[in-house]
Amino acid sequence: MLSALEILAVIGVVLLVPLLYRLWNFIWLYFLRPSTAHKYLHAAPTYALITGASDGIGKALAKELYDQGFNLILHGRNEQKIRKVVEEVRRNGARDVLYFLADASDVNHDFERMMAPYMNLNITLVVHNVGNQGFTKERIDGFSNADVAGIVNRNAIFPLHLTHTLLPRLRLSAKTGPVLVQFMGSLASEISPPRFAIYGASKSFLKALARGLDTDEQVWTPTGVHFEYLVTGQVQSNSMRLTASLGTPTSETYAKAIVARMGCGWRKYCPFWVHAVQLWFSEVMGEGMQDKYAAGAIPELIALHEKKA
């Protein structure tokens, strides 16, 4: 019969195994695993579609994927800005860089017509990067109905409609190799910070959408189309005007992290390793501590962006 000490030792080992497994997965994903972005380059010419590519992460990702060998289909709202990105990217090669215009805050688009010029192209990678919410002191009832709709549309509904329209094309592309759709998520979906309830809820919608669609395409009737939700912390960009640091990478650094991790086999993960550590600590803290921390951090971020506006 086991002694009390032996029973405690067994319990300790049982509790330790999941932690060691998680630590190994962390080391493998961020420091040992080779990039598999190249596996989405099949049946050339191969296209990657990126929304919100006018600046920030989307622009940096466009350049990174172009350097990896992808042709591009870029989305933006402002034609002057997106054409400038197209010109910058094209300096590094002779592959296609196409673009389309749409205000993601407004979903009164004819998505079928919008995507018609690209439905015969071999699209193997889609990154739904578009989405944000401005920094404001207003509570939810301080927003107009149009403001609320705009936040939800550009962060959740626009990616939904675009994915709905593209899926038949993506399944065709998957006949010659894997296809990947990535939704840009946020730590806000995990901690729901004050003043960002709508934004956090919209990102949680994408998290559930990615899981459901991936199960639909991989388990119900396998098609070769995969979906991922990228948990993103603070990244230096036009919408997040912070000084770059260990925990706040530049858009260029973050784009490289996305490409390095894509196709890793996880449906939900942080592309950047420091954000993964932050997510783990937030889980350990529990909701009470998360709320207290966010309640102190958000006002500082709002004040900083008001100062830099």
Contact 130, 102 (CB under 8 A): no
DSSP tag of 33: P
What backbone torsions phi and psi does residue 134 show, to the nearest 5 degrees?
-65, 155
Nearest C-alpha neighbor of 122 from the set 53, 184, 73, 59: 73
Residue 2 confidence (pLDDT): 61
pLDDT on residue 94: 87
Q: Which residue has the tokens 């010029």?
A: 117
Give the residue from 173, 82, 164 showing the smallest Cα distance to 123: 173
What pLDDT is attached to residue 294? 84
DSSP 8-state assignment for residue 38: G
What domains lie within the chain, and their CATH numbers?
36-308 (3.40.50.720)
User: What are the pLDDT tens digits along the chain (309 aa)?
Assistant: 567 776 776 677 777 788 888 899 999 999 999 999 999 999 989 999 999 999 999 999 999 999 999 999 999 999 999 999 999 999 988 899 999 999 999 989 999 999 999 999 999 999 999 998 888 888 899 999 999 999 999 999 999 999 999 999 999 999 999 999 999 999 999 988 888 999 999 999 999 999 999 999 998 889 999 999 999 999 998 878 888 999 999 999 999 999 999 999 999 999 999 999 999 988 888 888 888 888 888 888 878 777 765
| pLDDT for position 287 | 87
List, in order, residues 6 or more apart from 211 with CB less than 8 Å away: 227, 229, 267, 268
Per-residue burial over 205-217, b = 16 or more CB atoms within 10 Å of its CB, e = otherwise: bbbebbeebbeeb
Please give the pLDDT value at position 297. Answer: 82
Strand boundaries in the chain, DSSP class E? 46-50, 71-76, 97-101, 122-128, 179-184, 225-230, 268-269
